[in-house]
Structure 1
Amino acid sequence: MNVFFQRVLLLAILWLSFSPPTQAQVDMMAWPSSTEELEQRLQQRVRTLGVPAASIIIFDTAGVRWRGDYGSAAEKENEPLYAVGNLTEMMTSIAIMQLVEQQTFSLQSDVGGRLPELQLRNPYAEQHSLQLVHLLEHSSGLDQRRFRNHYRLHPDAPHIAALNRDPGALQVRWPPGTMSSPSSVNYAIIGALLESHYEQSWQQILHQQVLSPLRLESTFSHLPAVPEEQLMPGHLGLPPRQTESKDRWLWASEGAYSSAADMARLGQFWLTKGRDFPTSLLSAETLSSMEQPRSTLASDAGLIYGVGAGVDTRARFAYWHGKTSSVGGHSATLRYAPQHDIGYVILTNTDTLLPALEEQIWQFLIRDKGGVMTVPSGIAVEQRWQGWYQLQNPQHELMAPLQQVFDMAYMSRDGADLDLRPWLSPTVPLRSLDGSRLAHRRDGSVVGVLYSGLQGELQIEAHGEVRQRVSTAQALMPAFLVLLSVVILLTHPFGRHKALNNSWMRTFITLSALSLLLLVFVAGSLSLEEAATDNWRSVLVFVFSLTFPLFALAGLFTTLWSWRHEQAVIAKIRCLIAAVAACGLSLWFWYAGWLGLRLWAW
């Protein structure tokens, strides 16, 4: 019971950390006003949440302003090391942009032409080739890597071997250069491009092109190179439980391990635009250009917020460039705000608790800089933009069918003010600045844009999510039919058992409903890390995803076969409706690719 209440408390704190404050809360909230108060609050949250270890640094162009180590990190004599996950992309982007500056590559370089051995499948290649800039800005349309490609099986395998091992993730899902969606496959392909050009291993390339010039002395390209005594063990879940450290498969995307001091130095490089670093790395102009997206329809419409080359942007009463990641029981974030000459790094060895610590940091920095943004006046948008919107850029293709049905949003309009109300996330209050660009009404940051798609469709991008205008029927009917089918299926077993002569009519549908419930329960208990291995739960997912449609079909066949012999009209009609509902859900599973779902091979 104590564990239950601890989880409830942790979830409440994390929900408040994620939730954007209202304008009234901004005026009243007592944000930390000094480093002493910040230290006190962080210590309290570390104790309350049970954070195993965390290292935090605040830096500016002059160097480190403040540092705090918590939990077991405070006991380390040497720099504690953490998996920094997608922060690796910041280093990989530096290496490839050096070749762009040297004109060895261009941002428009065709990836298929540069890597002919890559098993890339781009059905849009005739008009929309996959270019280097699409990889850098995650606008390639490529899916996330499969679960089985979480961990490295062959220590010395190059990136091209890892990529071709997973051809399903090399299928382009939408025309490259239209919208972005994070995928570790993108930077793994950049890693393969670098290995092909230099004819060296990834470790050698990263060390000579990035780590050595930046003097990142406690950063390592992959797990086997990490000193064991400095490595902080990862933790998963709530409350955090220790997990085994495993080498990531796609090194150029998420393989690096580093210290807070090194990540702060990397942040300084970006914040100062390389001013105090070797000129051979990158020019200030190149670093500035990498902070803004250039390869999506939203960026063409004037949106400078989103995924750039190596860094993305978040808006929290300021524009914070950088990266945030959570892999292998570790979380990491590196953020810097050039307009305030400030940045911060948070590394922790838990996959869930970083937002609760990060909230205290950015609140302190914004209050310290007095930098709360003002909300500008707006220009009214046309009535046609009001209505239902469907998500277009899901991050993981496996979950896309579920998101396309249930992740709808309704946008209401009141002159220049718009309210985007997704079903699965908080309302986003927006204001039109010029009939197209959209500012957040609570802090004035421009986080979205209204624009037309390739075929003239009405689309909106807000906080990185791209949604397309759909009719009310298109928005509501799929979710209604799925929910109605589930309700019919789950209530079916409660009919009168003796009303039917052939009891198998109800039994098969009951077994189908039970399979569906068990499938949802077992799949919901799996983490992405656990889904990567052939364990007993992933085997159960495979079994139940097969028995669910098989029992549904058996129930429908038995009902139709026995129809003329059954006298209980209501009972047999209920069986027929339940069988049709089960078969309808089975067809949806088939469309989604969930029948016989083998997570260990996905």
Structure 2
Amino acid sequence: MPAAYAQEANSSLAGDIKAGLQEEGLTGAVWTELQPDGKIVTGAAGLKNAASGLPMQADTKVQVGSVAKVVLALGVLHLVSEGKLTLDTPLDQILPKLALKNPWQASDPVRIRHLLAHTAGLDDLRFWQAFSTRPLPDTPLADAFGHGGNLLRVHARPGSRYAYSNMGYGLLGMVIEKVTGQPYEHYLDTQVLQPLGMKDSTFAFVTQTGPQADPRLAMGHFERGVTQTAVPMYLRPAGQFTTTAGDMGKLAQFLMGDGQLQGSSFIAAPLMAALSNPVGTQAALAGLEAGHGLALATRDRHNVLGACHPGTTVGFRAMLCVYPEQKSAFFVAFNTDSETADYERFNRLLMRDLELPLRPPAASGKPAATVENWEGVYLPSPGAMSSMAWVDTVFGFVRLKWDGDDLYLIPFQGQPKELEPLGGLLFRASDRSAPSHVLMQADGRYMFSDGLHTYERASMLRMLVLWGSVALGLAGLLYVLLVGLWRAVRRKLKRSDQLFAPLLSVVALLLPVPFFVFQSFLRLGDVTMASVLLAIVTGALPLAMAFGLARCWRGRLQAHGLEKFDWIALLAALQWLLVLAWWGLLPLVLWQL
């Protein structure tokens, strides 16, 4: 359908989206609707570039971040369908030199199916993989895994738990290159995109300026219309993809088919049936249907159940959802990456316009008599980034509380959720229509999952110790800062004072700030003046506290007034800093996180 006709036929939706863009502070959007009769309807609203004022067109190219994983997964499944690969092929058979550290290697090696379904137990990514200006468009994919160490440590038994992993899809890019003998971008462009008729799409690096510029590509933006051009990335198989609304409509058509292209099998039918069907995880075995398949995740929103994949990249956001039962789908992309905008409102608009039938909520049922045994504090297992495990532990916990009728999920950050029992150990959140959570137990450990996150109960004593450590540490540092400055103002802070070195180390934390202010956030994971200074001043903190404690000991007999409490504050601060060092967060070396 021509873009102009599509926009005219969709004028009401276009008006609603245009109003939404203005209210949410977003620059522009393109979208696709796949209707039950097979018609692809595209539209656009807002601006292609806030600086130039050019309008967004329905055929404007956009970047869609992790939605790229859906197409890459199809490329892998095409290789499987051709017999060049199997879902159960161990990763180390294809990439034997990979520094994979899998404690379950003998019984449960990481397999291709685990990488596709995000159940390999790998970290999502590392700081330096996401924020760096070092990679080039043709940087070898192996460079994303060149830091060694525990980068590719498996944190959960492969296949048992979902843990979203950009690194996993980076590895799949390497698998494609090893199996086909060609760059993964070329293989996917020629062997997947071309057969699908997606002629305006590519996995090659495309940007808005310079040698790889495409004038049809929309400019990326952040809040307040700040523009941002696309940049190369280390884990590009996981999120580098340029496309159009029309091409995404063709992709949606294929995703809801039987894997046939022009009368021939492109992807085997059983593989197509498993695109959004979670298999083998602890949650799936416990009866929860929500989760991630080989390419998409089940998504239960607004009383409609579909299969979706979101995407975020520098300056862009996107969402692809297919509804096979209704033979409908939508895709929407925004050329603004905002932390405050309500992107879900646009999903609601598209779902409403498609007139998707609403599902009645699943009927309630009698819960298991043992539900109260699951009460307690839970931690993500595994977390997204093992290098930030301390942060997940101290601030990422949730609490389960059973009141005899309903189960309450109470996060430290965010709104509590009321979970209605559906029978046994299955529960449904109030904003879902299908079962959304399941309680589980394995090897004496209590767990629960929503299909896309698994939490394991933590020792309350351990949590109290960690929380107490934080409270004491912050109190100690605050004492050093306030009392030290008070003495300095009164000119009583001499070099021999036990708070002199500790105070300097705390104040020195301000040194990297101006360098970070004038440095692009895209360089946060690079070795720069700002990051080097940050590593130095954070590394000096515990040394300065220990030095101050030593001076307290030497001068303990001469201490008077507040000085008698200096050692307590320094000890409180030092214990927390040592805890952070034990967890790998001190010194704070951004290029290793």
Q: Residues 417 and 338 (structure 1 numbering): CA distance in 2 closer, same or farther, change over 3 Å?
A: farther
- Overall identity of the aligned pairs, in %: 23
Give 1:247 shift: 1.8
SS of the equivalent of 1:539 reads helix
Counterparts in 2 of 1:334 and 1:78: CA distance versus 1, 3 Å: closer
Deviates more, 1:533-542 or 1:587-596: 533-542
Alignment counterpart, residue 109 of structure 1, candidates 86, 89, 96: 89
Q: Count the aligned residue pairs.
A: 565
Q: Which amino acid aligns with 2:23?
A: T
Q: Distance in 2 between matches of 1:66 and 1:259?
A: 9
CA distance 1:601–1:377, change in 2 (3 Å): closer
The Cα offsets for residues 405-457 of structure 1, whole Å up to 9 and x where unpaired, read as 1222111113452110010122122123232222223332222211123x230
CA shift digits 1:132-170 (9 cap, x unpaired): 111111111212333333456354444345434566422
- Aligned residue in 1 for 2:416: 427
Q: Quick one: distance in 1 between partners of 2:517 and 2:471?
A: 18
1:311-338 per-residue CA deviation (whole Å, 9 max, x = no partner) reads 1222212223121111122212111222
Equivalent position SS for 2:467? helix
CA gap of 1:507–1:463, structure 2 versus 1, over 3 A, is farther
Matched residue, 1:235: 221
Specify the alignment match of 1:376 in structure 2. Answer: 363
Distance in 1 (CA, whole Å) between partners of 2:406 and 2:107 is 37
Q: 1:272 to 1:280 in 2, by over 3 A?
A: closer
- Other-structure match for 1:508: 501
Structure 2 match to 1:25: none
1:303 counterpart letter in structure 2: L
> For residues 222-262 of structure 1, what are the alpha-carbon distances to aligned partners after superposition, in whole Å with 9 as ceiling and x for unaligned?
215965211222223x3341123212222321121111221
1:332 counterpart (298, 318, 321) = 318
Q: Quote how far apart the aligned CAs of 1:369 are.
A: 2.7
Paired residue type of 1:587:
L
Tell me how far 1:116 sits from its aligned partner. 0.7
TM-score normalised by length of structure 2: 0.87
**For the residues of structure 2 that align with 1:436 and 1:104, how far apart are their CA atoms?**
41
CA–CA separation in structure 2 for the residues paired with 1:524 and 1:376:
53
SS of match in other structure, 1:590: helix
Per-residue deviation, residues 512-547 of structure 1 (Å, max 9, x unmatched): 444567789998999863413344433342233222
Please state how far the C-alpha of 1:66 moved relative to its aligned partner.
5.0
Q: 1:274/1:492 Cα in 2 relative to 1: closer, same or farther (>3 Å)?
A: same
Pair 1:322-2:308 in alignment? yes
Q: Deviations over 1:60-114 (max 9, x none)?
A: 3512245233212773678322222211111111111123234433222111122
AA at the equivalent of 1:480: G
With over 3 angstroms needed to count, the CA separation of the structure-2 counterparts of 1:37 and 1:342, relative to structure 1, is same
Question: Which one-letter code corresponds to 2:591 in the other structure?
Answer: W
Q: Distance in 1 between matches of 2:327 and 2:386?
A: 39
Matched to 1:122, the amino acid is N
Q: Cα 1:418–1:231, aligned 2, differ >3 Å: closer, same or farther? A: same
Structure 1 window deviating more from structure 2 (225-234 vs 151-160): it is 151-160
Q: Find the counterpart in structure 2 of residue 125 from structure 1.
A: 105
Deviations 1:350-385 (A, max 9, x none): 222696244233255248334153241122232201
SS in 2 for 1:347: strand
More off after superposition, 503-512 vs 439-448: 503-512
Q: Distance in 1 between matches of 2:261 and 2:82?
A: 21
Out of 461, 467, 488, the residue aligned to residue 476 of structure 2 is 488
CA distance in 2, matches of 1:390, 1:445: 24
1: distance between equivalents of 2:516 and 2:277? 38
Q: 2:565 aligns with which of 564, 574, 593?
A: 574
What residue number does 1:412 align with? 401
- 2:328 & 2:66 partners in 1: Cα distance? 21
Q: Spell out structure 1 runs of 4+ moving beyond 6 A.
A: 498-502, 517-528
2:252 match:
267
398 and 457 in structure 1: CA distance in 2 versus 1, 3 angstrom threshold? same
8 Å CA contact 2:206–2:242 kept in 1: the answer is no
Say if 2:30 is the partner of 1:55: yes
Q: Aligned match of 2:72 in 92, 104, 109? A: 92
- The 1-side partners of 2:455 and 2:519 are apart by 29
1:584 counterpart (575, 582, 587) = 575
Question: What is the alpha-carbon distance in structure 2 between the residues aligned to residue 113 and residue 523 of structure 1?
Answer: 43
Quick check: 155-164 or 84-93, which moved more? 155-164
Partner Cα separation in structure 2 for residue 385 and residue 282 of structure 1:
42
Distance 1:159 1:278, change over 3 A: farther
Matches for 1:455-474 after TM superposition, within 5 Å: 455-462=443-450, 464-474=452-462
**CA distance in 1 between partners of 2:187 and 2:308 (Å):** 22
- What is the distance in 2 between the residues matched to 1:364 and 1:500? 65
**Mapped partners of 2:412, 2:56: distance in 1:** 45
Deviates more, 1:165-174 or 1:181-190: 165-174
Matching residue's letter, 1:467: Y
Question: What is the alpha-carbon distance in structure 1 between the residues aligned to residue 363 and residue 472 of structure 2?
Answer: 44
- Displacement of 1:209 in angstroms is 2.3
Shift in Å, 1:124: 2.7
Of the candidates 182, 197, 208, which is equivalent to residue 164 of structure 2? 182
**Distance in 2 (alpha carbons) for counterparts of 1:179 and 1:201:** 31
The answer to whether structure 1 residue 290 and structure 2 residue 275 are counterparts is yes
Deviation at 1:404, TM superposition (A): 0.7
Matched residues in 2 for 1:460 and 1:517: separation? 42
Report what 2:426 is aligned to: 437
1:404–1:525 CA distance, 2 compared to 1 (3 A): farther
1:475 paired with 2:463, answer yes
Q: Is the 8 A contact 1:59 1:344 kept in 2?
A: yes
Task: Give 2:430's aligned amino acid.
Answer: R
Q: Which residues of structure 2 form unaligned runs of 5+?
A: 1-8
1:433 counterpart letter in structure 2: L
Counterparts in 2 of 1:16-95, with a 5 A limit? 36-61=11-36, 62-65=38-41, 67-72=43-48, 75=55, 79-95=59-75
Kindly report the root-mean-square deviation, in angstroms, between the aligned alpha carbons of the 2 structures. Answer: 3.0
CA contact (8 A) 1:448 1:462 kept: yes
Answer 1 or 2: which has greater helix percent.
Answer: 1
Change (3 A) 1:564 1:463: farther
Distance across 2 between alignment mates of 1:96 and 1:416: 46
Give the gaps of 5 or more residues in structure 1: 1-33
Q: Give the C-alpha shift of residue 390 in structure 1.
A: 1.9
2: CA distance, partners of 1:323 / 1:354? 20
Which residue of structure 2 lines up, in the alignment, with residue 594 of structure 1? Answer: 585
Alpha carbons of 1:47 and 1:277: their partners in 2 closer, same or farther (altered >3 Å)?
farther
Are the structure 2 counterparts of residues 322 and 111 from structure 1 closer, same or farther at C-alpha, using a change threshold of 3 Å? same
* Aligned match of 1:138: 118
- TM-superposed CA distance for 1:595, in Å, is 2.0
Quote the residue 1:153 is aligned against: 135
Higher mean Cα deviation, 85-94 or 262-271?
Answer: 262-271
**TM-score normalised to structure 1 length:** 0.85
Letter in 1 for 2:204: H
SS in 2 for 1:596: coil
Distance between the aligned counterparts of 2:97 and 2:199, measured in 1? 35
CA contact (8 A) 2:512 2:530 kept: no
Partners in 2 of 1:581 and 1:55 — Cα distance?
A: 54
Alignment-mate amino acid for residue 111 of structure 1: L
